[in-house]
Amino acid sequence: MLSPRQMPHREDIVIEQYYRKMLWAGAYPLLLALMAGATWMDRIYSHALRHSAASDMAAATSGVSDRLLLLSALVILSGVLCAMLLQGMARRLVVASLAVFCLELLMPVLAGALPGGAIYFAMLGPGLRVGIVLAALGLCLLATRRVLA
């Protein structure tokens, strides 16, 4: 049996739970930043591969898009977990960040539904994708700032 001196204090347990919660909640901004970097690199490589052979480009873009979709699923999962762990205004900012991030996945569908949207999407799509991910990252960083303040 533990003596009263050896038993952890309630404050120590609360602080340990807070740090554990923040560790899991901190995964979302990191994965979102990784997604922003991957989207930027995808934009750079798509410009570099425009003048290569069509068969090489199709194989390369298919592999990259599969990896980006997997990373998007991880980002959304970590965002939902982060929203469940946080509360108040920070939770609302994380939910807003998730909503903005999901716009990136809906953008090709929305562009196809608009008249002439495919042409505009071909011109503005890569930059718009990066902008959407950076806006989601900004909202997420505001939520993290709100939690740490």
Residue 36: its pLDDT value, please?
87
- The residue with greater pLDDT, 34 or 7, is 34
pLDDT value of residue 54: 63
Spatial separation of the C-alpha atoms in residues 3 and 128, rounded to whole Å:
61
Size of the chain in residues: 149
Q: Answer whether 132's CB lies under 8 Å from 41's CB.
A: no
Q: What is the pLDDT of residue 18?
A: 72
Which residues have C-beta within 8 Å of that of residue 80, sequence separation ≥ 6?
98
8 Å CB contact between 130 and 39? yes
Q: Which whole number is the average pLDDT over 51-57?
A: 64
Helix (H, G, I), strand (E, B) or coil at 87: coil
pTM, 2 dp: 0.77
Domain coordinates in residue numbering, the chain:
10-148
pLDDT at 139: 94
Neighbour count for residue 22 (Cβ, 10 Å): 15
Q: Are 77 and 24 in contact (CB under 8 A)?
A: no
76 pLDDT band (50/70/90 cuts)? Answer: very high
Q: Give the whole-angstrom CA distance, residue 128 versus residue 135.
A: 10
What's the pLDDT at 70? 87
List, for residues 84-128, the tens digit of each pLDDT value: 988 899 899 999 999 999 988 888 787 778 787 777 777 777 788
Q: Which two tokens stand for residue 44?
A: 């750079």
